């Protein structure tokens, strides 16, 4: 009986291996060989799913953004108010575990690569723009001034970087986000 292959699952496994390589070596260190080794696959199997290193790296960037958006959607579906949803949006990038630290490190590798790679830059800009639009919409729903959205998103990104660099503890950063939201709520 022929083996049934879940191609979506296989692509996901390859992308996760890509992220491991990026976290260890940066995007410049990505090779089909390194990703194949990390995934436990042959180079040919990786090439079957991704025609080039650039295609693999870009797919990994899109998948990281899609995964983050799915987590945000799931978390905010339970939120009782736009303020809670806004807090979730702002706190999501702040790495609170080693797994989230890995994701943040990979994201910032993509952000840096986006400066010199127009395709990655466009993917990152679109994601950043969607986050800003979401923050604006949540502020609007809360009856607050939506012009605060860029400042809040900048605070979130800056705190995420500080936590990633271990200059600030995650709980301290989360507390600062909560304080900022409380100040906006008061008015």
Tens of pLDDT along the chain (187 residues) come to: 666 768 888 999 999 999 999 999 999 999 999 999 999 999 999 999 999 999 999 999 999 999 988 888 887 777 679 999 999 999 999 999 988 898 999 999 999 999 999 999 999 999 999 999 999 999 999 999 999 999 999 999 999 999 999 999 999 999 999 999 999 998 7
Following DSSP, what letter does each residue of the chain receive, concatenated?
-PPP--HHHHHHHHHHHHHHHHHHH-GGG--HHHHHHHHT--HHHHHHH-SSHHHHHHHHHHHHHHHHHHHHHHHHHT-SSHHHHHHHHHHTTS--SHHHHHHHHHHHHHHHHHTT-HHHHHHHHHHHHHHHHHHHHHHHHTTS-GGGHHHHHHHHHHHHHHHHTTSS-HHHHHHHHHHHHHHHHH-
Question: Which structural domains are found in the chain, ordered by start?
Answer: 60-186 (1.10.357.10)
pTM of the prediction?
0.86
């Amino acid at each position: 009986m022929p083996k049934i292959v879940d191609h979506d699952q296989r692509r996901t496994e390859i992308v996760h291996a890509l992220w491991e390589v990026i976290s260890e070596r940066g995007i410049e260190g990505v090779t089909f060989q390194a990703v194949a080794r990390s995934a436990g696959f042959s180079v040919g199997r990786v090439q079957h799913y991704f025609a080039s290193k650039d295609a693999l790296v870009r797919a990994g960037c899109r998948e990281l953004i899609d995964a983050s958006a799915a987590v945000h959607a799931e978390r905010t579906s339970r939120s009782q108010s736009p303020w809670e949803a806004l807090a979730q949006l702002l706190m999501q990038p702040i790495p609170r575990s080693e797994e989230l630290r890995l994701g943040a490190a990979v994201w910032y590798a993509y952000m840096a690569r986006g400066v010199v790679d127009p395709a990655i830059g466009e993917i990152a800009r679109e994601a950043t723009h969607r986050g800003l639009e979401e923050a604006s919409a949540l502020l609007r729903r809360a009856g607050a001034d939506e012009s605060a959205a860029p400042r809040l998103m900048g605070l979130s990104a800056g705190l995420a970087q500080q936590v990633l660099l271990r200059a600030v503890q995650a709980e301290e950063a989360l507390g600062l986000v909560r304080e900022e939201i409380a100040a906006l709520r008061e008015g």
